[in-house]
Chain A
């Protein structure tokens, strides 16, 4: 079973200047991912980037479901008000 902390590290190590917040119960996870790598990318491409660093764990079904929000640092700042 994967821990949210493990997924957070995989995402943050895999993407440049990335901050991730991950919650979950070991099977289903929710992540908010913030990185400048998302700039000028559509949601589909952003999700593909995150999937790419988690690929092995998804294919093995160790990571069954990950719901995610993908934001650029600018979008994130705006949300914080």
Chain B
């Protein structure tokens, strides 16, 4: 595993809920990242995030890491949950709130 993949694994392992996005929840740089972070915020659970625009290696590396070609990407307990469509679908059904709360995000894991 190369350095970038190791760095991503470390981030994913150390945060029960972590969103890889373009921009930040306060200043999202892409509509899809904005919707995804708003859905997470709507669950009233803390979540960590990584702004992939700050590091081109992470921006490319995260696509290889989960074998998922697009950003945003949500990881819960080390596992890829999905991208924007899946996050929104799960938010609508209430599954997202349940998932992130059970992930221990309520204890606080903000990056």
Q: Which residues of A are in contact with B by a Cβ distance under 8 Å?
A: 43-44, 47-48, 51, 55, 58-59, 65-69
Contact = CB atoms under 8 A, between A and B. Distances in A.
A47 B86 contact: yes
A44 B67 CA distance: 11
Classify the secondary structure of B's interface with A. mixed
What 5 A-B pairs come out closest when comparing CB atoms? A58-B69, A43-B86, A44-B82, A51-B69, A67-B85
Contacts of A67: 32, 84-85
Interface residues of B, number: 14
Contacts of B82: 43-44, 47
A44 B89 CA distance: 11
Contacts of B81: 44
Nearest to B81: A44
Contacts of A59: 69
Contact of B80 (A44, A65, A66): A44
Contact of A44 (B32, B69, B70, B86): B86
